[in-house]
Chain A
Amino acid sequence: MFTGPRLAFLSRQSVSKLGMRRSLSATGPAASGAAAEYAQKHTKSKGDPISEDLAATSSALQTLAARLHLKDIPYSTLARTLITDTSGSRFANNSGLAGFGKSLLAFYTYEHFMINYPRLPQRVLRHAVDVYTAPRALAEVAKLWGVQSETRTPFARYLANVKDESVLGRLAYIDAVEAVEPGVTKITDSKTTMHADVAMATFIRALVAAVYAHRGLDGARDFIHQYLIKPRKLDLQSIISISRPTRELAVLCSREGLEAPVSRLMAESGRYSNTPVFVVGVFSGQSKLGEGQGSSLKEARTRAAVNALQAWYLYSPIDPTAPSAAPAAEYKPQPYVDGGEIVI
Protein backbone atom coordinates (compact mmCIF):
# COMPACT_ATOMS: atom_id res chain seq x y z
CA MET A 1 0.00 0.00 0.00
CA PHE A 2 1.33 3.48 -0.85
CA THR A 3 1.74 6.04 1.88
CA GLY A 4 1.45 9.81 1.57
CA PRO A 5 5.05 10.73 0.69
CA ARG A 6 5.29 8.04 -1.92
CA LEU A 7 2.19 9.38 -3.61
CA ALA A 8 3.75 12.83 -3.74
CA PHE A 9 6.75 11.37 -5.48
CA LEU A 10 4.64 9.48 -7.97
CA SER A 11 2.49 12.41 -8.90
CA ARG A 12 5.32 14.72 -9.88
CA GLN A 13 8.06 12.50 -11.17
CA SER A 14 6.55 9.44 -12.72
CA VAL A 15 4.18 10.89 -15.26
CA SER A 16 6.60 10.02 -18.04
CA LYS A 17 6.36 6.37 -17.01
CA LEU A 18 2.61 6.47 -17.45
CA GLY A 19 2.94 6.91 -21.20
CA MET A 20 3.46 10.56 -22.16
CA ARG A 21 6.43 12.86 -21.73
CA ARG A 22 6.47 15.95 -19.55
CA SER A 23 7.07 18.13 -22.58
CA LEU A 24 3.47 17.49 -23.57
CA SER A 25 2.13 19.12 -20.44
CA ALA A 26 2.95 22.62 -21.68
CA THR A 27 -0.26 24.62 -21.91
CA GLY A 28 -1.34 27.28 -24.38
CA PRO A 29 -2.06 27.28 -28.09
CA ALA A 30 1.52 26.33 -29.02
CA ALA A 31 1.19 23.09 -27.08
CA SER A 32 -1.74 21.81 -29.13
CA GLY A 33 0.27 21.38 -32.29
CA ALA A 34 3.10 19.74 -30.39
CA ALA A 35 0.66 17.40 -28.66
CA ALA A 36 -0.95 16.28 -31.90
CA GLU A 37 2.48 15.80 -33.47
CA TYR A 38 3.69 13.80 -30.50
CA ALA A 39 0.59 11.62 -30.37
CA GLN A 40 0.95 11.00 -34.09
CA LYS A 41 4.56 9.86 -33.77
CA HIS A 42 4.61 7.88 -30.58
CA THR A 43 1.37 6.00 -30.22
CA LYS A 44 0.22 2.81 -31.80
CA SER A 45 -2.86 4.44 -33.28
CA LYS A 46 -1.85 5.06 -36.86
CA GLY A 47 -4.13 6.90 -39.21
CA ASP A 48 -4.69 10.21 -40.90
CA PRO A 49 -4.59 13.29 -38.68
CA ILE A 50 -7.89 15.15 -38.33
CA SER A 51 -7.68 18.73 -39.50
CA GLU A 52 -9.07 21.41 -37.21
CA ASP A 53 -11.22 22.91 -39.99
CA LEU A 54 -12.85 19.57 -40.68
CA ALA A 55 -13.54 18.81 -37.00
CA ALA A 56 -14.98 22.30 -36.44
CA THR A 57 -17.77 21.56 -38.92
CA SER A 58 -19.26 18.89 -36.64
CA SER A 59 -22.11 20.35 -34.58
CA ALA A 60 -22.09 17.31 -32.28
CA LEU A 61 -18.46 18.05 -31.38
CA GLN A 62 -19.11 21.75 -30.86
CA THR A 63 -22.02 21.15 -28.51
CA LEU A 64 -20.15 18.42 -26.61
CA ALA A 65 -17.20 20.78 -26.10
CA ALA A 66 -19.55 23.51 -24.86
CA ARG A 67 -21.41 21.14 -22.54
CA LEU A 68 -18.16 20.01 -20.90
CA HIS A 69 -16.55 23.48 -20.99
CA LEU A 70 -13.74 22.22 -23.22
CA LYS A 71 -13.56 25.23 -25.55
CA ASP A 72 -9.79 25.49 -25.03
CA ILE A 73 -9.23 21.99 -26.42
CA PRO A 74 -9.01 21.79 -30.23
CA TYR A 75 -11.92 20.08 -31.95
CA SER A 76 -9.46 17.84 -33.78
CA THR A 77 -8.22 16.36 -30.49
CA LEU A 78 -11.77 15.99 -29.25
CA ALA A 79 -12.79 14.27 -32.48
CA ARG A 80 -9.95 11.84 -32.08
CA THR A 81 -11.02 10.82 -28.57
CA LEU A 82 -14.30 9.61 -30.12
CA ILE A 83 -12.69 7.23 -32.63
CA THR A 84 -11.99 3.79 -31.19
CA ASP A 85 -9.59 1.30 -32.75
CA THR A 86 -12.49 -0.91 -33.89
CA SER A 87 -14.19 1.88 -35.86
CA GLY A 88 -12.42 1.14 -39.15
CA SER A 89 -12.16 4.88 -39.68
CA ARG A 90 -9.25 6.17 -41.73
CA PHE A 91 -8.48 8.72 -39.00
CA ALA A 92 -6.12 8.21 -36.07
CA ASN A 93 -7.87 6.50 -33.16
CA ASN A 94 -7.96 7.05 -29.41
CA SER A 95 -6.17 3.90 -28.20
CA GLY A 96 -2.92 5.67 -27.28
CA LEU A 97 -4.72 8.49 -25.50
CA ALA A 98 -7.04 6.04 -23.71
CA GLY A 99 -4.13 3.99 -22.36
CA PHE A 100 -2.54 7.06 -20.84
CA GLY A 101 -5.83 8.49 -19.58
CA LYS A 102 -6.65 5.22 -17.83
CA SER A 103 -3.45 5.45 -15.80
CA LEU A 104 -4.11 9.08 -14.86
CA LEU A 105 -7.68 8.28 -13.87
CA ALA A 106 -6.70 5.32 -11.71
CA PHE A 107 -3.90 7.31 -10.10
CA TYR A 108 -6.07 10.25 -9.01
CA THR A 109 -8.95 8.03 -7.90
CA TYR A 110 -6.62 5.95 -5.72
CA GLU A 111 -5.13 9.14 -4.35
CA HIS A 112 -8.59 10.50 -3.51
CA PHE A 113 -9.49 7.42 -1.45
CA MET A 114 -6.10 6.95 0.19
CA ILE A 115 -5.97 10.55 1.35
CA ASN A 116 -9.58 10.70 2.52
CA TYR A 117 -9.85 7.20 3.99
CA PRO A 118 -6.31 6.10 4.92
CA ARG A 119 -7.51 3.03 6.83
CA LEU A 120 -9.67 1.54 4.08
CA PRO A 121 -8.88 -2.21 3.70
CA GLN A 122 -7.10 -3.07 0.46
CA ARG A 123 -9.94 -5.05 -1.11
CA VAL A 124 -12.51 -2.41 -0.29
CA LEU A 125 -10.21 0.27 -1.68
CA ARG A 126 -9.77 -1.63 -4.92
CA HIS A 127 -13.50 -2.13 -5.27
CA ALA A 128 -14.24 1.52 -4.52
CA VAL A 129 -11.81 2.63 -7.24
CA ASP A 130 -13.43 0.13 -9.56
CA VAL A 131 -16.84 1.65 -8.88
CA TYR A 132 -15.45 4.99 -10.11
CA THR A 133 -13.29 3.88 -13.03
CA ALA A 134 -14.65 0.59 -14.43
CA PRO A 135 -16.08 0.70 -17.99
CA ARG A 136 -19.63 0.38 -16.66
CA ALA A 137 -19.26 3.49 -14.48
CA LEU A 138 -17.56 5.51 -17.22
CA ALA A 139 -20.18 4.47 -19.77
CA GLU A 140 -22.91 5.77 -17.45
CA VAL A 141 -21.12 9.11 -17.29
CA ALA A 142 -20.55 9.30 -21.05
CA LYS A 143 -24.25 8.69 -21.65
CA LEU A 144 -25.12 11.50 -19.24
CA TRP A 145 -22.84 13.77 -21.24
CA GLY A 146 -24.94 12.99 -24.29
CA VAL A 147 -22.31 11.11 -26.30
CA GLN A 148 -23.90 9.53 -29.37
CA SER A 149 -22.73 6.28 -30.94
CA GLU A 150 -21.98 5.21 -34.48
CA THR A 151 -21.85 1.42 -34.56
CA ARG A 152 -22.08 0.66 -38.28
CA THR A 153 -19.27 -1.35 -39.83
CA PRO A 154 -17.06 0.40 -42.42
CA PHE A 155 -18.79 -1.72 -45.08
CA ALA A 156 -22.27 -0.68 -43.93
CA ARG A 157 -21.13 2.94 -43.89
CA TYR A 158 -19.76 2.54 -47.42
CA LEU A 159 -23.06 1.09 -48.63
CA ALA A 160 -24.96 3.95 -47.00
CA ASN A 161 -22.54 6.38 -48.66
CA VAL A 162 -21.44 7.78 -45.30
CA LYS A 163 -17.89 9.11 -45.28
CA ASP A 164 -15.53 8.91 -42.30
CA GLU A 165 -15.66 12.72 -42.12
CA SER A 166 -19.39 12.81 -41.39
CA VAL A 167 -19.00 10.37 -38.48
CA LEU A 168 -16.76 12.77 -36.55
CA GLY A 169 -18.35 13.85 -33.27
CA ARG A 170 -20.01 10.52 -32.62
CA LEU A 171 -18.39 7.63 -30.77
CA ALA A 172 -17.36 5.24 -33.54
CA TYR A 173 -17.04 1.55 -32.69
CA ILE A 174 -18.39 -1.79 -33.84
CA ASP A 175 -20.63 -3.29 -31.19
CA ALA A 176 -19.76 -6.79 -29.97
CA VAL A 177 -23.42 -7.34 -29.10
CA GLU A 178 -25.66 -7.56 -32.11
CA ALA A 179 -29.39 -8.27 -32.14
CA VAL A 180 -29.67 -10.70 -35.05
CA GLU A 181 -33.41 -11.25 -34.77
CA PRO A 182 -35.97 -10.92 -31.95
CA GLY A 183 -34.81 -13.14 -29.08
CA VAL A 184 -31.41 -13.90 -30.63
CA THR A 185 -28.34 -11.87 -29.68
CA LYS A 186 -24.96 -12.48 -31.24
CA ILE A 187 -21.97 -11.68 -29.04
CA THR A 188 -18.64 -11.49 -30.83
CA ASP A 189 -15.41 -11.46 -28.88
CA SER A 190 -12.67 -10.35 -31.19
CA LYS A 191 -10.27 -7.50 -31.72
CA THR A 192 -12.51 -5.98 -34.37
CA THR A 193 -15.48 -5.43 -32.05
CA MET A 194 -16.02 -3.68 -28.74
CA HIS A 195 -18.64 -3.74 -26.00
CA ALA A 196 -20.58 -0.47 -25.73
CA ASP A 197 -19.39 0.16 -22.17
CA VAL A 198 -15.76 -0.35 -23.10
CA ALA A 199 -16.08 1.98 -26.09
CA MET A 200 -17.62 4.71 -23.91
CA ALA A 201 -14.86 4.15 -21.33
CA THR A 202 -12.10 4.56 -23.92
CA PHE A 203 -13.65 7.89 -24.88
CA ILE A 204 -13.57 9.23 -21.31
CA ARG A 205 -10.06 7.94 -20.72
CA ALA A 206 -8.87 9.49 -23.98
CA LEU A 207 -10.58 12.73 -23.01
CA VAL A 208 -8.65 12.79 -19.74
CA ALA A 209 -5.43 12.40 -21.75
CA ALA A 210 -6.55 15.15 -24.14
CA VAL A 211 -7.21 17.48 -21.21
CA TYR A 212 -3.76 16.62 -19.89
CA ALA A 213 -2.18 17.42 -23.25
CA HIS A 214 -3.73 20.88 -23.42
CA ARG A 215 -4.21 21.95 -19.79
CA GLY A 216 -1.33 20.14 -18.11
CA LEU A 217 -1.29 17.79 -15.15
CA ASP A 218 -3.19 20.07 -12.78
CA GLY A 219 -5.85 20.64 -15.42
CA ALA A 220 -6.30 16.90 -15.87
CA ARG A 221 -6.49 16.45 -12.11
CA ASP A 222 -9.17 19.12 -11.77
CA PHE A 223 -11.12 17.65 -14.67
CA ILE A 224 -11.08 14.17 -13.11
CA HIS A 225 -12.21 15.53 -9.75
CA GLN A 226 -14.94 17.79 -11.14
CA TYR A 227 -16.43 15.46 -13.71
CA LEU A 228 -15.75 11.94 -12.47
CA ILE A 229 -15.02 11.83 -8.74
CA LYS A 230 -17.13 14.55 -7.09
CA PRO A 231 -20.48 13.80 -8.78
CA ARG A 232 -20.37 10.13 -7.85
CA LYS A 233 -21.75 9.12 -4.49
CA LEU A 234 -20.79 5.80 -3.00
CA ASP A 235 -21.94 4.83 0.48
CA LEU A 236 -18.68 3.48 1.87
CA GLN A 237 -20.32 2.46 5.13
CA SER A 238 -22.54 -0.05 3.41
CA ILE A 239 -19.87 -1.53 1.13
CA ILE A 240 -17.73 -2.73 4.04
CA SER A 241 -18.84 -6.24 4.86
CA ILE A 242 -17.33 -7.82 7.98
CA SER A 243 -17.68 -11.56 8.55
CA ARG A 244 -16.65 -11.86 12.24
CA PRO A 245 -17.05 -8.40 13.75
CA THR A 246 -16.82 -9.11 17.50
CA ARG A 247 -13.67 -11.14 17.13
CA GLU A 248 -12.12 -8.60 14.78
CA LEU A 249 -12.87 -5.77 17.20
CA ALA A 250 -11.23 -7.70 20.04
CA VAL A 251 -8.08 -8.23 17.94
CA LEU A 252 -8.07 -4.58 16.91
CA CYS A 253 -8.29 -3.44 20.55
CA SER A 254 -5.45 -5.70 21.59
CA ARG A 255 -3.31 -4.53 18.67
CA GLU A 256 -3.92 -0.87 19.42
CA GLY A 257 -3.24 -1.36 23.13
CA LEU A 258 -6.82 -0.60 24.19
CA GLU A 259 -8.74 -2.44 26.88
CA ALA A 260 -10.64 -5.49 25.63
CA PRO A 261 -14.09 -4.52 24.26
CA VAL A 262 -17.09 -5.18 26.50
CA SER A 263 -20.72 -5.11 25.26
CA ARG A 264 -23.25 -3.53 27.61
CA LEU A 265 -27.01 -3.33 27.33
CA MET A 266 -28.00 0.33 27.22
CA ALA A 267 -31.74 0.23 26.63
CA GLU A 268 -34.38 -2.36 25.89
CA SER A 269 -38.06 -2.62 25.18
CA GLY A 270 -40.51 -5.52 25.03
CA ARG A 271 -38.14 -8.30 26.06
CA TYR A 272 -41.03 -10.76 26.39
CA SER A 273 -43.03 -9.50 23.40
CA ASN A 274 -42.61 -10.74 19.84
CA THR A 275 -40.98 -7.45 18.81
CA PRO A 276 -38.24 -6.82 21.33
CA VAL A 277 -35.62 -4.12 20.78
CA PHE A 278 -32.22 -4.05 22.45
CA VAL A 279 -29.66 -1.27 22.26
CA VAL A 280 -26.14 -2.43 23.00
CA GLY A 281 -23.01 -0.32 23.29
CA VAL A 282 -19.52 -1.74 22.93
CA PHE A 283 -17.04 -0.19 25.36
CA SER A 284 -13.31 -0.23 25.77
CA GLY A 285 -12.77 0.90 29.34
CA GLN A 286 -14.72 4.15 29.72
CA SER A 287 -14.97 4.99 26.02
CA LYS A 288 -17.83 3.84 23.84
CA LEU A 289 -16.54 2.49 20.53
CA GLY A 290 -19.86 1.77 18.87
CA GLU A 291 -23.55 1.15 19.30
CA GLY A 292 -26.08 -1.09 17.67
CA GLN A 293 -29.67 -2.14 18.02
CA GLY A 294 -31.39 -5.38 17.17
CA SER A 295 -34.25 -7.66 18.02
CA SER A 296 -32.02 -10.01 19.97
CA LEU A 297 -29.10 -9.38 22.30
CA LYS A 298 -26.77 -11.17 19.91
CA GLU A 299 -27.88 -9.14 16.91
CA ALA A 300 -27.51 -5.87 18.81
CA ARG A 301 -24.04 -6.87 20.02
CA THR A 302 -22.92 -7.75 16.49
CA ARG A 303 -24.27 -4.50 15.09
CA ALA A 304 -22.44 -2.58 17.81
CA ALA A 305 -19.15 -4.26 16.87
CA VAL A 306 -19.77 -3.57 13.16
CA ASN A 307 -20.49 0.06 13.99
CA ALA A 308 -17.22 0.34 15.92
CA LEU A 309 -15.21 -1.28 13.10
CA GLN A 310 -16.82 0.95 10.46
CA ALA A 311 -15.81 3.97 12.50
CA TRP A 312 -12.25 2.64 12.57
CA TYR A 313 -11.94 1.75 8.90
CA LEU A 314 -13.68 4.87 7.63
CA TYR A 315 -11.57 7.27 9.66
CA SER A 316 -11.07 10.41 7.63
CA PRO A 317 -8.58 13.19 8.47
CA ILE A 318 -10.29 16.54 9.12
CA ASP A 319 -8.45 18.51 6.45
CA PRO A 320 -6.65 16.07 4.18
CA THR A 321 -4.23 17.53 1.64
CA ALA A 322 -3.62 15.48 -1.45
CA PRO A 323 0.04 15.38 -2.51
CA SER A 324 -0.97 16.31 -6.05
CA ALA A 325 -2.94 19.38 -4.87
CA ALA A 326 0.11 21.13 -3.40
CA PRO A 327 3.38 21.99 -5.17
CA ALA A 328 5.98 19.29 -4.49
CA ALA A 329 8.22 21.59 -2.44
CA GLU A 330 5.39 22.65 -0.13
CA TYR A 331 3.84 19.26 0.53
CA LYS A 332 4.49 17.97 4.01
CA PRO A 333 3.44 14.36 4.49
CA GLN A 334 1.48 13.78 7.68
CA PRO A 335 3.39 11.56 10.10
CA TYR A 336 0.70 8.91 10.18
CA VAL A 337 1.46 5.27 9.52
CA ASP A 338 -1.52 2.95 9.55
CA GLY A 339 -1.24 -0.44 11.20
CA GLY A 340 -2.95 -2.05 8.21
CA GLU A 341 -5.70 -4.59 8.15
CA ILE A 342 -6.62 -6.66 11.17
CA VAL A 343 -5.60 -10.31 10.92
CA ILE A 344 -7.74 -12.82 12.79
Chain B
Amino acid sequence: MPVQPAKFIQSTFRNGVGSFVQPCTKIVLRYCNWGGSSRGMRKLLNENIRQIAAENPEIEVVVQKKSGHPIVQGFYANGNIKSVCVRNYEPSKILEKISVVRNSSGEKLRKYNRAVESKNESVRGIWSPFHVDAEHRYRI
Protein backbone atom coordinates (compact mmCIF):
# COMPACT_ATOMS: atom_id res chain seq x y z
CA MET B 1 0.00 0.00 0.00
CA PRO B 2 1.49 3.34 -0.99
CA VAL B 3 -0.34 5.49 1.60
CA GLN B 4 -0.12 4.46 5.25
CA PRO B 5 -0.96 6.23 8.49
CA ALA B 6 2.07 7.25 10.56
CA LYS B 7 0.91 5.73 13.84
CA PHE B 8 3.53 7.33 16.05
CA ILE B 9 2.04 10.81 15.60
CA GLN B 10 0.40 11.88 18.85
CA SER B 11 -2.76 13.91 19.11
CA THR B 12 -3.36 16.58 21.72
CA PHE B 13 -6.48 17.21 23.75
CA ARG B 14 -7.26 20.89 24.28
CA ASN B 15 -9.58 21.59 27.18
CA GLY B 16 -11.63 24.67 26.28
CA VAL B 17 -12.05 24.01 22.56
CA GLY B 18 -15.66 22.91 22.02
CA SER B 19 -16.14 22.43 25.74
CA PHE B 20 -14.47 23.34 28.97
CA VAL B 21 -14.25 20.99 31.93
CA GLN B 22 -13.13 22.54 35.23
CA PRO B 23 -9.74 20.98 36.14
CA CYS B 24 -10.20 21.59 39.88
CA THR B 25 -12.31 18.77 41.29
CA LYS B 26 -12.07 19.23 45.04
CA ILE B 27 -11.23 21.99 47.52
CA VAL B 28 -10.37 21.19 51.12
CA LEU B 29 -10.67 24.00 53.69
CA ARG B 30 -8.68 22.98 56.75
CA TYR B 31 -9.03 24.86 60.03
CA CYS B 32 -8.07 24.52 63.67
CA ASN B 33 -10.72 24.97 66.32
CA TRP B 34 -8.30 26.44 68.83
CA GLY B 35 -5.46 28.24 67.05
CA GLY B 36 -5.49 32.01 66.61
CA SER B 37 -4.23 31.78 63.02
CA SER B 38 -7.51 30.08 62.06
CA ARG B 39 -9.68 32.97 63.31
CA GLY B 40 -10.36 34.26 59.79
CA MET B 41 -11.00 30.77 58.45
CA ARG B 42 -13.44 29.98 61.26
CA LYS B 43 -15.33 33.19 60.53
CA LEU B 44 -15.44 32.34 56.82
CA LEU B 45 -16.70 28.82 57.52
CA ASN B 46 -19.39 30.16 59.85
CA GLU B 47 -20.68 32.75 57.42
CA ASN B 48 -19.82 31.91 53.82
CA ILE B 49 -19.28 28.18 53.46
CA ARG B 50 -22.75 27.38 52.07
CA GLN B 51 -22.47 30.17 49.56
CA ILE B 52 -19.01 28.99 48.40
CA ALA B 53 -20.30 25.45 47.89
CA ALA B 54 -23.42 26.65 46.06
CA GLU B 55 -21.39 28.90 43.75
CA ASN B 56 -19.09 26.03 42.73
CA PRO B 57 -21.30 23.03 41.94
CA GLU B 58 -18.51 21.43 39.89
CA ILE B 59 -16.16 21.32 42.87
CA GLU B 60 -16.46 19.10 45.92
CA VAL B 61 -15.98 21.34 48.98
CA VAL B 62 -14.65 19.55 52.07
CA VAL B 63 -14.20 21.14 55.51
CA GLN B 64 -11.56 19.50 57.65
CA LYS B 65 -10.75 20.10 61.33
CA LYS B 66 -7.08 19.60 62.14
CA SER B 67 -4.67 21.33 64.48
CA GLY B 68 -2.08 23.62 62.90
CA HIS B 69 -2.33 26.55 60.52
CA PRO B 70 -5.37 26.71 58.24
CA ILE B 71 -4.86 25.78 54.57
CA VAL B 72 -6.79 25.85 51.33
CA GLN B 73 -6.04 22.75 49.28
CA GLY B 74 -7.07 22.14 45.66
CA PHE B 75 -7.24 18.70 44.03
CA TYR B 76 -6.99 18.59 40.25
CA ALA B 77 -8.01 16.19 37.49
CA ASN B 78 -4.36 15.66 36.51
CA GLY B 79 -3.62 14.28 39.98
CA ASN B 80 -1.81 17.32 41.34
CA ILE B 81 -2.58 18.98 44.65
CA LYS B 82 -2.11 22.67 45.35
CA SER B 83 -1.92 23.82 48.99
CA VAL B 84 -2.03 27.44 50.13
CA CYS B 85 -1.37 28.36 53.75
CA VAL B 86 -3.86 31.01 54.92
CA ARG B 87 -2.69 31.63 58.51
CA ASN B 88 -3.87 34.92 60.03
CA TYR B 89 -5.77 35.79 56.83
CA GLU B 90 -8.98 37.79 56.85
CA PRO B 91 -12.01 36.02 55.30
CA SER B 92 -11.84 38.29 52.21
CA LYS B 93 -8.20 37.29 51.59
CA ILE B 94 -9.05 33.60 52.08
CA LEU B 95 -11.84 33.95 49.49
CA GLU B 96 -9.22 35.35 47.11
CA LYS B 97 -7.01 32.32 47.69
CA ILE B 98 -9.96 29.97 47.16
CA SER B 99 -10.59 31.54 43.78
CA VAL B 100 -6.89 31.22 42.90
CA VAL B 101 -7.00 27.51 43.73
CA ARG B 102 -10.30 27.06 41.89
CA ASN B 103 -9.14 28.79 38.70
CA SER B 104 -5.80 27.03 38.54
CA SER B 105 -5.25 24.30 35.95
CA GLY B 106 -3.28 22.18 38.40
CA GLU B 107 -0.21 22.26 36.18
CA LYS B 108 3.13 22.91 37.82
CA LEU B 109 4.09 26.56 37.73
CA ARG B 110 6.77 27.22 35.17
CA LYS B 111 8.52 30.13 33.54
CA TYR B 112 7.31 31.07 30.07
CA ASN B 113 10.34 32.18 28.09
CA ARG B 114 8.52 33.14 24.91
CA ALA B 115 5.96 35.85 24.33
CA VAL B 116 3.63 33.49 22.46
CA GLU B 117 3.10 29.81 23.16
CA SER B 118 0.70 27.98 20.89
CA LYS B 119 -0.23 24.45 19.96
CA ASN B 120 -1.32 25.66 16.54
CA GLU B 121 0.99 26.41 13.65
CA SER B 122 1.31 30.00 12.47
CA VAL B 123 -1.40 31.01 10.00
CA ARG B 124 1.07 33.13 8.03
CA GLY B 125 3.73 30.43 7.83
CA ILE B 126 7.45 30.70 8.45
CA TRP B 127 9.30 33.40 6.52
CA SER B 128 11.36 31.91 3.73
CA PRO B 129 14.36 33.59 2.11
CA PHE B 130 13.60 31.74 -1.12
CA HIS B 131 10.21 33.28 -1.66
CA VAL B 132 11.17 36.95 -1.54
CA ASP B 133 11.44 38.78 -4.82
CA ALA B 134 14.31 37.37 -6.93
CA GLU B 135 16.00 40.82 -7.08
CA HIS B 136 16.41 41.01 -3.31
CA ARG B 137 17.38 37.41 -2.88
CA TYR B 138 20.72 36.74 -1.24
CA ARG B 139 22.86 34.44 -3.34
CA ILE B 140 25.76 32.39 -2.08
Contacts and interface: CB of A to CB of B under 8 A. Distances in A.
Interface of A: 59-60, 62-63, 66-68, 121, 123-124, 126-128, 131-132, 137, 140-141, 143-146, 225-227, 229-235, 238-244, 248, 266-267, 269-270, 273, 277, 279, 293, 313, 341-342, 344
A9 B131 CA distance: 48
Interface residues of B, number: 40
Nearest to B12: A233
A232 B7 CA distance: 16
B57 A242 contact: no
Contacts of B60: 59-60, 63
Interface stretch (B15-23, B34-42, B43-51, B64-72): B15-23
A250 to B, nearest CB: 12
Contacts of B23: 144, 146
8 contacts: A68-B21, A128-B5, A231-B13, A240-B6, A243-B2, A243-B4, A267-B131, A293-B130
B3 interface: yes
B3 A233 contact: no
Contacts of A227: 18-19, 21
B78 A144 contact: yes
Contacts of A240: 3, 5-6
Nearest to B129: A269
A225 B3 CA distance: 28
B13 A140 contact: yes
A141 B2 CA distance: 33
Contacts of A232: 11-14
B140 interface: yes
A125 B80 CA distance: 36
A62 B2 contact: no
Chain B interface main SS type: loop
B18 A238 contact: no
Nearest to A251: B2
Interface of B: 1-7, 9, 11-19, 21-23, 25-26, 57-60, 76-78, 119-120, 128-131, 134, 137-140
B19 A230 contact: yes
B12 A146 contact: no
B6 A238 contact: yes
Contacts of A242: 2-3
B3 A66 contact: no
A240 B129 CA distance: 27
Contacts of A243: 2-4
B13 A63 contact: no
Contacts of B12: 232-233
Contacts of B5: 123-124, 126-128, 239-241
Nearest to A144: B77
Contacts of B57: 62-63, 66
A123 B1 contact: yes
Nearest to B8: A239
Contacts of B13: 140-141, 144, 231-233
Contact of B77 (A132, A146, A270): A146
A342 B2 contact: yes
Given A67-B58, A146-B25, A231 B6 contact: no
B18 A231 contact: yes
B2 A145 contact: no
Given A63-B25, A67-B58, A231 B2 contact: no
A124 B3 contact: yes
B58 A241 contact: no
Given A63-B25, A66-B57, A232-B12, A273 B140 contact: yes
A63 B58 contact: yes
Contacts of B119: 233
A242 B5 CA distance: 9
Nearest to B76: A146
Nearest to B25: A146
A206 B12 CA distance: 23
Given A59-B60, A269-B130, A145 B21 contact: yes
A123 B77 contact: no
A25 to B, nearest CB: 22
A66 B58 contact: yes
